[in-house]
Chain A
Amino acid sequence: GQNIDQPTEMTATEGAIVQINCTYQTSGFNGLFWYQQHAGEAPTFLSYNVLDGLEEKGRFSSFLSRSKGYSYLLLKELQMKDSASYLCAVYNDYKLSFGAGTTVTVRA
């Protein structure tokens, strides 16, 4: 089975840093995606990790530890437009299994 856990909600101040954790226990693993989803819209791709370590892409970074079944998404220099849901998804057997998503609210 697939078990992917992430916090339900997080709140942070504009300009701050927020780290969203994701732990997973899945029957297989070929990589981990992070997506951003605004309410009523489709998810948009943020990052993909297949090897252990940190992937940095502008204000967003993602980390993976396969031995620990753990990933995090780091959002720096938060902006109001970053208020959204962030989805962790494990890729295996050509399919994605999603966590329930973490709603991030950025306050002025």
Chain B
Amino acid sequence: GAVVSQHPSRVICKSGTSVKIECRSLDFQATTMFWYRQFPKKSLMLMATSNEGSKATYEQGVEKDKFLINHASLTLSTLTVTSAHPEDSSFYICSAVGGGAAYNEQFFGPGTRLTVL
């Protein structure tokens, strides 16, 4: 149980285009989902916290107009990178909390590798 999926796993796009990444909790309802980005050999940096039916809460320094987050249901959150640029190339990981897990444990998705040319 407690499986989180992400789609796509890899995406390559041209500079200036927008890319949507989906995060789904497959076998539980996620009250909260989190979006992280990770640069090579660096730590996971929290970008935003997403609660179903409400606006996402962004961490300091994260542009909300550039990284659009929608949490339309208890099993789906999306991250849209708008007008992507090469510096947005990174590994994006989502996590979900819910399913009666102990410790408020976050279950992580497999990540999405974004490359912007």
Q: How far is the CB of A67 from chain B (nearest CB, A)?
A: 21
Q: How far is the CB of B43 from chain A (nearest CB, A)?
A: 4
- Chain A residues whose C-beta falls within 8 Å of the C-beta of B91 in the assembled complex: 40
Known: A40-B91, A42-B110, A95-B34. A100 touches B105 (CB 8 A): no
CA distance A44 to B108 in the complex (A): 7
Q: How would you classify the secondary structure of chain B's contact residues: helix, strand, loop or mixed?
A: strand
B89 proximal to A (CB < 8 A): no
- Chain B residues whose C-beta falls within 8 Å of the C-beta of A48 in the assembled complex: 103, 105
Interface residues of B in 70-117 (CB under 8 A from A): 91, 93, 103-111, 113
- Chain A residues whose C-beta falls within 8 Å of the C-beta of B25 in the assembled complex: none
Known: A45-B105, A94-B104. A87 touches B93 (CB 8 A): no
CA distance A43 to B44 in the complex (A): 10
Question: CB < 8 Å: which of A42, A91, A94, A100 contacts B43?
Answer: A100
Q: Is the CB of B49 within 8 A of A95?
A: yes
CA distance A44 to B104 in the complex (A): 14
Question: CB < 8 Å: which of B46, B109, B113 contacts A96?
Answer: B46
Known: A40-B113, A43-B108, A45-B105. A98 touches B43 (CB 8 A): yes
Q: Is the CB of B113 within 8 A of A91?
A: no
* In the complex, residue of chain B having the shortest beta-carbon distance to the beta carbon of A49: B103
Interface residues of B (CB under 8 A from A): 4, 32, 34, 41-46, 49, 91, 93, 103-111, 113
Interface residues of A (CB under 8 A from B): 31, 33, 40-45, 48, 50, 87, 91, 94-101, 103
